[in-house]
Amino acid sequence: MALTPPGDLYLGLNDSIFPKVFAAIVSQRPSLLNYATSYFASNPQTWCQPIASPTGTPPVTVVSPLQLTTDNSVPSVDLLIQITNIAAGFGKDTVGLPPSMQPLPPQRIALKISFAARFSIPKLDPSTIGCPDNNPFSKASFPPHLCSCFTGDLFLTAAGDIMQCDSNMWITFALDQFDSTNITPAGLQETANYFLALLVDTKLLPQMWFNVAPAVIDLSKTLPASAPIKTITVTPSAPAGSPNPNIASDLLEARSILTVTTP
């Protein structure tokens, strides 16, 4: 059976390549693994793990603080999240998912993410509260409290998709299941799981979405004028009949369409 249908070009990646990809991201694009509000981003001494980044490359991705209320007189919460390791399995659990997440659903990537995190949380000075008939916090003092770093492991399954949006092709990722095994009691673990899932889905993963422009290979200057081919255009194909990308048996498989133009 041909590998290419329903496309013309086939690409398959084994999940054993993932540690090399992660190491490359650590050394070349650390901002994809480290997220911080402006306070943490501008104070490297507060980072849980040191970050080495190439000259001209930002060490972190700056994110907005967590605003806990619509009252602007109440300050927001600063946060730092550093991903310290990622293990992946394509269509197969090779990372040791907890029992609550097994069996792995079809067309999913199993992930284990190790992280370090830190928060700076404002602490109200009770002696500065104003009169309740006005805004009691308009002149209140909220000295920041820099919390200690903490670490943990997150287990998740993610889905990937190639979708066509008008004339653009996008590769997107989103969480399917999520669990953290080292947070207790159960109620706190469930709350943390949903909170972190929302944070990852809306703050982290969209940073990895990318628009895949068609790649045009111009052969007109390398082939003789009599050659029957001028250009070859490679375009990712949206799913049609079978999944694209296909995630199964330790492989991440993608297919593309080839368009050939003649002189």
Q: What is the pLDDT along the chain (263 residues), one digit of tens a residue?
A: 455 566 677 778 788 888 888 899 999 999 999 999 999 999 999 999 999 988 889 999 999 998 877 777 778 899 999 999 999 999 999 999 998 898 998 889 899 989 999 999 888 898 998 888 888 888 889 998 999 988 888 898 988 888 888 878 888 888 888 888 766 677 767 777 777 777 777 767 777 776 877 888 888 878 887 788 888 888 877 666 678 778 887 887 887 888 888 87
The parent domain of residue 205 ranges over: 16-212
Torsion sign (Cα): 244, 85, 190, 36: negative
Asked, for residue 222, whether it belongs to a domain, the answer is no
With b meaning 16 or more CB within 10 Å and e meaning fewer, what string describes 40-79?
bbeeeebbbeebebeeeeebbbebeeeeeeeeeeebbebb
Q: Cα–Cα distance between 9 and 150 in angstroms, integer?
A: 45
Residue 201, in any domain of the structure: yes
Residue 1's pLDDT is 40
Which among 29, 37, 32 is positioned nearest to 53, based on CA atoms? Answer: 29
User: Residue 47's pLDDT is what?
Assistant: 97
List CB contacts of 175: < 8 A, sequence separation 6 or more.
Answer: 156, 157, 158, 197, 200, 201, 205
Closest C-alpha to 158, from 228, 252, 236, 57 = 252
Q: What is d(CA 173, CA 121) in angstroms, rounded to the nearest whole number?
A: 31
Residue 135 belongs to a domain = yes
Residue 126 has what DSSP assignment?
A: G
Residue that is written with structure tokens 């994809």 in the block:
32
Q: What is the C-alpha to C-alpha distance for residues 116 and 85, in angstroms, rounded to an integer?
A: 10
For residue 96, the model assigns a pLDDT of: 93
In a domain, 69, yes or no: yes
Listed in sequence order, the residues at least 6 apart from 255 whose beta carbon sits closer than 8 Å to its beta carbon are 4, 5, 6, 7, 8, 9, 10, 11, 236, 237, 244
Query: Whose CA is closest to 103, among 113, 115, 89?
Result: 89
Assigned token pair, 81: 């999240």
Say how many domains are in the chain.
Answer: 1
Does the residue 65 lie in any domain?
Answer: yes
242: CB partners within 8 A, 6+ apart: 5, 6
Cβ(171)–Cβ(209) below 8 Å: yes
Residue 157's nearest CA partner among 127, 200, 189, 128 is 200
Q: Is residue 73 part of a domain?
A: yes
Identify how many contiguous H helices and E strands the chain contains and give both numbers. Answer: 3, 13
pLDDT at 5: 61
The pLDDT, as a whole number, for residue 125 is 92
Assigned domain for 5 exists: no
26 part of a folded domain? yes
Q: Are 152 and 184 in contact (CB under 8 A)?
A: no
Length of the chain: 263
pTM of this prediction exceeds 0.75: no
